[in-house]
């Protein structure tokens, strides 16, 4: 019987854009932003800060590449600025973007 407990399998991300890929075990873009269009399991969309119904336990989109995936999700591509260096930075950046893009948001002061 072989001992596989010491071997690690690196999961390659299927989400690659311009030299940046989705970080495994993140899911920030499926939690932080609001989504106004219907999603399977969430017919009224998704409020900001709420986990998407299609986000799996592995923090990957269950409908990635499927026609029922909302266009807004497909359009949100991983970028270093958005993703940062860890999940916490990604959640914070996306939460800030969500606040700044609300219809009643105050403009950011110019320097």
Tens of pLDDT along 80-103? 999 999 999 999 999 999 999 988
Q: What is the pLDDT of residues 31-77, one digit of tens each?
A: 999 999 999 999 999 999 999 999 999 999 999 889 989 999 988 88
Strands (E), the chain: 16-17, 20-21
Q: List the one residue out of 21, 47, 23 whose CA is nearest residue 33.
A: 47
Domain edges within the chain? 16-100
Predicted pLDDT at 10: 42
Predicted pLDDT at 109: 61
Q: CB burial class (10 A; 0-12, 13-18, 19+) of residue 10?
A: exposed
How far apart are alpha carbons 39 and 52 in whole angstroms?
8
Decide: pTM greater than 0.85: no
């Amino acid at each position: 019987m072989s001992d596989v407990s010491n071997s690690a399998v690196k999961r390659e991300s299927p989400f690659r854009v311009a030299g940046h890929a989705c970080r495994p075990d993140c899911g920030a873009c499926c939690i932080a932003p609001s989504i106004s269009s219907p999603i399977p399991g969430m017919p009224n969309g998704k409020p900001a800060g709420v986990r998407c119904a299609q986000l799996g336990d592995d923090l990957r989109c269950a409908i990635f590449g499927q026609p029922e995936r909302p266009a807004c999700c497909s359009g949100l591509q991983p970028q270093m600025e958005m993703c940062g260096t860890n999940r916490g930075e990604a959640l914070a950046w996306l939460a800030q973007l969500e606040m700044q893009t609300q219809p009643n948001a105050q403009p950011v002061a110019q320097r």
